[in-house]
Structure 1
Amino acid sequence: MSDTQTSPPLVEKHTIGYIPPEDRHGKVRDLFTLWFGGNIAPLPIVTGALGIQLFHLNLLWGIVAILVGQLIGGVLMALHSAQGPQMGIPQMIQSRAQFGSLGSLLVVVIAGIMYIGFFASNIVLAGQSLHGIADSVPLPVGIVLGAVGSGAIGIIGYRFIHVLNRIGTWVLGIGILVGFGYILTHIHTGDFLTRGSFNLSGWLATVSLAALWQIAFAPYVSDYSRYLPEKVSVSSTFWATWLGSTLGSSLAFIFGAMAVLATPPGLETMEAVKLATGAIGPLMLILFLLSVISHNALNLYGAVLSIITLVQTFVWRWIPGHRSRTWISIIVLLGCCIAAIGASADFISHFVDLVLALLVVLVPWTAINLIDFYAIHKGNYDIQSIFRVDGGIYGRYNPQALLAYAIGILVQIPFMNTPLYVGPISRYINGADLSWLIGLLVTSPLYYWLATRDTAYRRRQSGLQHPIS
């Protein structure tokens, strides 16, 4: 059936179940606008400024580090996205094919915690932005308004999220280009091009920040491509996602770096943005506020799908619809509002610390998932087994995946640099965090070797007939 013949409902009726051909819709270019528009927001702007503020790079080397990290990390993120049309199911539930029905629960729980944390931190950011734009709006009221806006978008679901980001791509794209122009013509400092210098540890750290920004999307990126028609090729899905995500996030990261260089040192990033953009500053802040609310719907949506996946593992005949998704969304939203309003002022920084630690656990999952999909099974999976409580042909646990996963975490420890722990090798290279790279380089070949030696795995592969295109 052609995607032009479908007329999907505005409110999404599916949750974690397989999307049948008659419900597939949309175009590949929707992935570009989703990830471009969604990445032009305050959080990536603040993260991009760290290369200047924390690692003391100059503008040239800061931009080079940002681009290298984004382009590399974006490859992994886009490869996950390309799985969506081929399988028609969310990313986290697909992990059962690699880890088993129970073995996958650890990753599902970690992903769910990340989504909830991202949602809570972003509604704090939305509340602060709204309070900054209009002083008469108290911070708690701003938090609630930001949460309700994101909640409404997330409850309506997949199609509405894509529609908003098609609009956001044009509005935010034009807005950030105008912002770049204003910054370059209203520089408030004399050392815009000379502040900072090249240092290897700072450069590597900035590369890692940019790469990890992309990798953080991996657990839910295919959730937003799974409705595309099955005939959509892996390559077209990959390129649309990769270009949109790397371009949007690179612009946001570089915008943050330029804003802090164009203003006196010592300002917080968003204060620097407001000063650097001068007369158009209030308009930029409004655009960023709308972007936070829109993009944060993805975090709520992902959190809800993770919770449903967790419950469905034990109640395998239950594939809930939109009513269940709505009620779970409301419960998560209320809980996050209470936590965000009662949290300390440095809530966001504490959450970022947690995310950096959790990414150490997610990187080996990324390696295993991609190797299994592209190199071992080549997209051939038994969807019915994935939804069975006993895992069907995939079982409750996959020892090969769990062993590779554990080793993938352990080898990263000496290279880690998080607020919770700094490894000896990271300390030796002045704090650069290369754990994600080591995790990928070790886990990928190890899992491939373990899995291809498993005769039961080979038998499962030979009995499946659903190759990737």
Structure 2
Amino acid sequence: MIIGAPTEHPDPDATALHVGYRDKVLAVEPGGNEPIPLAARHGRPRGLFWTWTAPNLEFATIFVGIISVLYFGLSFWQAVAAMALGNLLGAIAHFLLSAEGPLHGVPQMVLGRLAFGYRGNILPATFMAVMCGVGWFATNSVSGAFALSTLFGLTPLTALVVIVVLQTAFAFFGHNLVQRFERLAAPVLAIVFVIGAVIIFSKSDVAAPAADGGFSLGGFLLTVGAAFGYTAGWTPYAADYTRYLPPTVSKVQTGLFASAGLFASCTFLMVVGAASVTIGDPVSENPTEAFTANLPSAIADVTLLAIAVGAVAANAINVYSGAMAFVTMGFTLPVGLQRALVTVFFGVVGFAVAWWALADAAASYEAFLLLVAYWIGPWLGVVFADRLLRRDPPPLTLLYDTGYRNRGGVVAFVIALAGSLLLFCNQEKFVGFVVRAVPELGDIGAFVGFVVAFVGYLILARDRVARSQQMYR
């Protein structure tokens, strides 16, 4: 028995387009969120290490370490522990979601329909498209623009235009070019940042005490939340970059290579950022210039260029997956170009947001990191609870059935999101009621949201999941 009719089920034309795209790099990826046919599957899991290393070798990652010491008041070693914990939690989630991509061959947000229903999934897909496809795009564009501005003496706006055009072009062509670019960029970026790290650590004072001379639980938890928000911010993209792999590849290797690249790159550069703050007070309001001022001029110039390239590497993925989420909402566009056309739209919108954020990049970034974590926590809670309840892999008909409903997922998500924000949010413009009473809690909204959503889904959706498993066998 099948409820409703699948309106996005793969058709012969879409299959032919994907098969023709299989081995091409400089070609526009066809289609949108339809399943990747077996004949078009290619690649090996180990390539995922570079896919998830390159986009984090950029200044936005460094800045997490900077704010942990400069704004949250931790010592270097306290910051290292907090960032490693937040990154580990995000990497574990990324492992689990990446491992599922080859089995189903569909984007991450299509898989989300299991937990939210076909229409209900529009809610988290909107969050991802706006906050990740536009928000992260703007955030990284700003850091790349500052790097180019410092290196070549361009105005920040001119540099921003250059960065946006480059990263939108990569995402426009799609999956194969994005993967190839990340693979080529990662080793080069790694070498540059390792050289910079050696110099930073030679000048740093990692034994310096925290700002107040002791240990701040609130600052520690804020840093855990910020690091988790950064690393887990990639989880809604996870299957987008594993869905082209053959279903016969090892799930463990798929998840391990993806999560290892993510954890290693994030932790490495966050630690470098924290060490840079112990050298002395910032010498410039331009955050990239302040960081590279600690390096010899030649190394500083190369590092600025690497920061700009890293921003492009990150945003090629951000705008690609943001566009994928948008297509998943059910909009009807030309089959061969729907994802590519939406990519251009997100590039334009992301540019506008980045232009606005240029005025106060540091404050905008700190707030944005925690905002991302607020919705990611409940979303992961619902998604993982759904996986726990399902014993058998779902058929494609369920993922593309417009009649499939799962209100329990939507309700659990909304309750967890609203409750965690109202009670545990810790932002400049709003502090949650519990945090007002207990400031030492820092910001644990994402983690509370995860637990509430996970438990709520198990209670609200257990029967619905069981019925859907029976109906689609």
Report the TM-score when normalising by structure 1: 0.88
Match of 2:313 in 1: 294
| Partner residue in 2 for 1:234 | 251
Aligned counterparts of 2:140 and 2:341: Cα–Cα separation in 1 = 21
Pairing 1:210-229 to 2, within 5 Å after superposition = 210-229=227-246
Q: Secondary structure at the residue paired with 1:220?
A: helix
Is contact 1:195–1:261 with CA below 8 Å preserved after alignment?
no
Query: 1:224-373 counterparts in 2 under 5 A?
Result: 224-264=241-281, 269-279=287-297, 280-312=299-331, 315=332, 320-321=335-336, 323-341=337-355, 345-346=359-360, 349-350=363-364, 353-354=367-368, 356-373=370-387
Which of the residues 362, 378, 393 maps onto 1:380?
A: 393
Q: One-letter code of the match for 1:305?
A: M
Distance 1:379 1:80, change over 3 A: farther
Could you tell me how far 1:158 is from its partner in structure 2?
A: 1.0
CA distance in 2, matches of 1:138, 1:176: 25
Q: Name the counterpart of 1:153.
A: 170
Deviation of the 1:16 alpha carbon: 0.8
What does 1:134-213 align with in structure 2 at a 5 Å threshold? 134-135=152-153, 137-187=154-204, 191-196=205-210, 197-213=214-230
Query: What corresponds to 2:140 in structure 1?
Result: 122
Q: What runs of 5+ residues in structure 1 fail to find an aligned partner? A: 1-5
Question: Does residue 124 of structure 2 align to residue 107 of structure 1?
Answer: yes
CA distance in structure 1 between the aligned counterparts of 2:289 and 2:95, rounded to whole angstroms:
33
User: Matched residues in 2 for 1:260 and 1:153: separation?
Assistant: 34
The one-letter amino acid paired with 1:218 is T
Query: 1:381-409 CA distances to partner (integer Å, 9 max, x unpaired)?
Result: 1312322332xxx33xx122123223322
Checking the alignment, whether the CA contact within 8 Å between 2:63 and 2:270 is kept in structure 1 is: yes
CA distance in 2, matches of 1:372, 1:287: 40
Query: 1: distance between equivalents of 2:355 and 2:222?
Result: 32
Distance 2:392 2:320 in 1: 25
Residue 415 of structure 1 corresponds to: 424
Residues 221 and 441, structure 2, Cα contact 8 Å, conserved in 1? no
Deviations 1:137-196 (A, max 9, x none): 232221111011101110111111111222222112222221121123344xxx542142
Identity value in percent: 25
TM-score (norm 2): 0.87
The answer to whether the Cα contact below 8 Å between 1:99 and 1:401 also exists between their aligned partners in 2 is: yes
Contact 1:74–1:215 (Cα < 8 Å) also in 2: yes
- Whether the 8 Å contact between 1:380 and 1:461 is mirrored in structure 2 is no
8 Å contact kept, 1:55–1:206: yes
SS at match of 2:330: helix
| Structure 2 segments unaligned to the other structure (5+ residues) | 1-20
- Give 1:243 shift: 1.0
Q: In structure 2, how many angstroms separate the alpha carbons of the residues matched to 1:435 and 1:243?
A: 26
Distance 2:82 2:134 in 1: 29
* Paired letter, 1:299: N
- Secondary structure (helix, strand or coil) at the match of 1:346 reads helix
One-letter identity of the residue aligned with 1:94 = L
Query: Whole-Å Cα distance in 2 between the matches of residues 346 and 101 of structure 1?
Result: 39
8 Å contact from structure 1 (residues 360, 436) kept in 2? yes
How far 1:223 sits from its partner (Å)?
Answer: 0.8
**Cα–Cα, structure 1 residues 270 and 347, in superposed 2: closer, same or farther, change >3 Å?**
closer
Give the AA of the match of 2:389: I
1:94 correspondence with 2:111: yes
* Structure 1 contact 417–431 (Cα < 8 Å) conserved: no
